[in-house]
Every structure is written in structure tokens, then in C-alpha cells.
A and B are shown apart, each in its own frame.
Chain A
């Protein structure tokens, strides 16, 4: 099946700094990628839909200036958490879509101290 990777798998950063998370589709080209946030023992919350070569579409309530998404190629999308604060600590998961199916990355655990 299709493989999606994320890097890093975990990251600790200080409050006020920015963190970039990469999402790559390894064996297929993904026109569309999705970014989710998951709090402990909760479901996935869609943050934004990322389309190659165009601006991301953010879900209601997600700050687009705080969570910058760039989908520069058909295999790479990045999420940058700018000026991170402790409340941004979470598990971030990306997925890449193909024919109405989504393949998920392993997730990135972000801890902001």
C-alpha cells in the first residue's frame, strides 16, 4: 500500500520558536494532503487541506497565520507551527489522498516547553 512518512517523529521546542513538520508520500504523487491534530484520547481534528501549487484551505477556527502549510511538490507538504506556545503541544498527523482514500503518516509529537 501507499506509504506516507513524517519527520520528525517527535520534537521539543521552546515557547516562541517555530517548528516545521514534513509530510512525504513515498511511492505515489499526492495532489492533496491533509493535516490533523489529535489531543490525547480524542479523535482527529482536521486542520487544513493542502493542495499542490495552491494555498491551503483551513478549517474553521484554525489560525492560518500560526499554522503555515506549504505543498511545494506532489510528494511533500510541510506544516510550520509559528511562535509555538504550550497549548500547541499535540500530536500532528498528515495524510495523503488518492481516489478518496487517505494514507496516514505515523504522526509527530510536538511538545512546547
Chain B
């Protein structure tokens, strides 16, 4: 079945430490890939996206993600987290064959940042 999987429901990381959030997808063809962040009670903000080309994508707020076709993964990373990075992170995909561009979301990963 087609799906987007975020294996980690909850991650706790110390401020200044590195962060990696996992995302795997299961589709017949490589979809368009996105990472969004949601602060409590807010809408979603796009961190970065991958359509094609260079598999290492730079985003806003110091985030980057790497697309690995062989692993069907699109993991999000940040070298040094800040307290303001505490939020919910969603991986999402759009099938390239979907003319409307409907997003399919993973379950999300809650990131807690400790002092």
C-alpha cells in the first residue's frame, strides 16, 4: 500500500545536539517530497522540498534533507538544534502523477528540546 512512514513518534534532543528525523515512503515511483514543521496551534510551514536533482536539499532554519532512492527515504537533519526547534515535524509526499498535488502526510514526529 502507498504510505509515508515516520517511525519516530517522539524524539527528545538536547539543545545544541544534532537532530535527525526519519521518513520513508512506499510508492511505485519517486514522489515529490516535503518536510513541514508545525508549532502548537499553528498551521504548517514548509522547511524544504525535493522534486529532482541534487539529493541533498537545503532548507530554512538550518535544516537539510537527503533523498536516498535506494532506501526510499528522505531524512531531515539539523546539526545543532535550538530551543525554538521544538515542534511537530511532518514528512509529506505528492505523487508526480497527481495533477491536483494532494499531499499525503506521515504521522508526524514530536521534537522536544531540553536545556
Contacts and interface: CB of A to CB of B under 8 A. Distances in A.
A46 B43 contact: no
A34 B103 contact: yes
B103 A46 contact: yes
A101 B49 CA distance: 9
Contacts of A43: 90, 105-108
Contacts of A107: 41-43
Nearest to B36: A104
A4 B42 CA distance: 12
A103 to B, nearest CB: 7
B24 to A, nearest CB: 15
A26 interface: no
B39 to A, nearest CB: 10
Interface string A55-93: 000000000000000000000000000000000000101
A34 B100 CA distance: 10
- Interface size class, chain A: 20 to 34
Contacts of A103: 46
B103 A105 contact: no
Given A100-B51, A106-B43, A107-B41, A44 B90 contact: yes
A27 to B, nearest CB: 15
Contact of B94 (A42, A44, A100): A100
A109 to B, nearest CB: 7
A105 B43 CA distance: 6
B44 interface: yes
Interface string B72-115: 00000000000000000010001000001111111110100000
Nearest to B103: A102
A31 B102 CA distance: 13
Contacts of B102: 34, 46, 49
12 contacts: A34-B103, A41-B110, A44-B44, A49-B102, A51-B100, A91-B41, A95-B43, A97-B100, A100-B32, A100-B51, A103-B46, A104-B44
